[in-house]
Amino acid sequence: MKRIALHTLGCKLNFAETSSIARQFSASGYYPVGLDDPADVVLIHTCSVTERADRECRQLVRRALRKSPDAFVIVAGCYAQLRPLEISQIEGVDLVLGTSEKFNAFSHGGDFRKRAKPEILVSSLAGIHEAHSASSAGFGDRTRAFLKIQDGCDYNCSFCTIPIARGESRSIPVDNLVAQAIEAVNLGYKEIVLTGVNVGDYGKKISSSLIHLLRELVLIEELDRVRISSIEPNLLNDELLDFWISEPKICKHFHIPLQSGSDSVLKEMRRRYMRSLYAEKVSRIKDAIPQAGIGSDVIVGFPGETDELFQETHDFLLELPVSYLHVFSYSERPNTPAVDLSGRVDARIRGERSERLRSLSIRKRRMFYESFVGQTVDVLLEGRQGRIFQTGLTGEYVRVNVEHGSDLTNQFVTVLVTGVEVDSCRGEVVNIDSVLSIQSLREAAV
């Protein structure tokens, strides 16, 4: 049997798409292996949100070829769409596939023999109105399936290449997504994670909406959890928020990108809200669910961000009851408006500001985790954490490690949280397969 090594850079959307590509190869007799295993074909699915992702691509090609020097190397995805010529010049690359072409990677590869000259297949995304379906069900994680519901973006944030790399916003029809969710449940998955470029924009061009999709998904009887990967604050409207808060099956975990706590920086970023709206959404969630998990994306070092403007962001986040931060140093991306802005921030200062916010994130996450000590929570266990402990997530996105002799992977357990570790909680199993706990929540909502 031939072997294919697949490696994903970037977001969970990329991961879901990689899984779908893997199914094409698997159906044709290829066995998936790791990047450090001998392979006949290597496929690297790229991201290009930051400069680091570009560098990682080069490093990964070299790493794969050290183990499999004769492997046929495919580089696909966002970086391939944006910089195909650069990728074709990486020694050892045989095929470069853009955003649309990657979904036919198996057919584009031909006989998968090394080529004297790389082939580039990258087409324009103009006029593409349909999104390719993708799901991670059957690959990787045994407990949570990532379901792609939407692709592309119609926003024009000044720092972002995603609209160029993925095209306009487009959605997958509701009936298609429900069928994929049912398929995942039939494979044993108990949680579905909805992912996309701009999830809150779902349905706009197909006479649907995110709340319509959610109402259909929660009707799937054997589906215990629906988690929403991320949503823009301006798209978190009252109707959606009310349903999210009240529906037991939807995880009380909100990942809401902020990007900056300074209104003047938000304007330069071309974001579609000011910080007052962001604070209002967070406050409303916390008023309704005090222990809801709320994550935030933040970019530091954006052009024109002075020490004073950065301090605005720091102080805003310090007072805001968010649970954790994803911090990014601003990265200049070609063909974005931000590249031409004045007030470039030195790389050293960007690094220092990133570290300050990451330190703040560590403190906030610990405070959030400590609020659960002494309480019982429902945890969907994912597998072992070392030889003794098993690990999983609550609906609020709290990682919990428990000690138990039996393998409880893909089971709900009720856990008494007894303490906090560096980046997780520890607890004691109170009840295995806590269907009763989940059912009681459902009945209480009826």
Residues 149 and 246 in one domain: yes
pLDDT tens digits, residue range 351-366?
999 999 999 999 999 9
What number is the average pLDDT over the span 42-51?
A: 84
C-alpha–C-alpha distance, residues 98 and 81, integer Å: 4
pLDDT-based confidence at 10, cuts 50/70/90?
Answer: confident
CA distances from 283 to 225, 260, 287, 311 (A): 24, 17, 6, 21
**Last residue of a domain, which of 337, 371, 405?**
371
Does the structure show a pLDDT above 50 at 446? no
What pLDDT shows up at residue 29? 93
CA distances from 196 to 2, 11, 208, 293 (A): 31, 9, 16, 20
What pLDDT shows up at residue 441? 41
Edge-to-edge order in the sheet of strand 144-148: 144-148, 191-195, 225-228
pLDDT-based confidence at 433, cuts 50/70/90?
Answer: low
What pLDDT shows up at residue 96? 97
Average pLDDT of the residues of the chain: 93
**Last residue of a domain, which of 82, 104, 121?**
121
Q: Is residue 275 part of a domain?
A: no
Residues 90 and 134 in one domain: no
What pLDDT shows up at residue 50? 65
What number is the average pLDDT over the span 265-275?
A: 98
Does the structure show a pLDDT above 90 at 206? yes
Per the structure, the count of domains in the chain is: 4
Q: Which of 79, 117, 111 is nearest to 97 (CA)?
A: 79
Q: Is residue 240 part of a domain?
A: yes
Residues 150 and 222 in one domain: yes
Which distant-in-sequence residues (6+ apart) come within 8 Å of 267 by Cβ? none
Residues 206 and 144 in one domain: yes
pLDDT tens digits, residue range 235-258?
999 999 999 999 999 999 999 999
Residues 333 and 245 in one domain: no
Q: Which domain holds residue 330?
A: 260-270+280-371
Maximal C-alpha separation, the chain: 65
pLDDT tens digits, residue range 290-334?
999 999 999 999 999 999 999 999 999 999 999 999 999 999 998
Q: How is the chain split among helix, strand and coil, in percent rounded to 5?
A: 35, 25, 40
Q: What is the CATH number of the domain that holds 308?
A: 3.30.750.200
Residues 398 and 366 in one domain: no
Residues 304 and 394 in one domain: no
Exposed/middle/buried for residue 238 (C-beta within 10 Å: 0-12, 13-18, 19+): exposed
**Last residue of a domain, which of 371, 401, 436?**
371
Residues 22 and 60 in one domain: yes
pLDDT-based confidence at 437, cuts 50/70/90?
Answer: very low
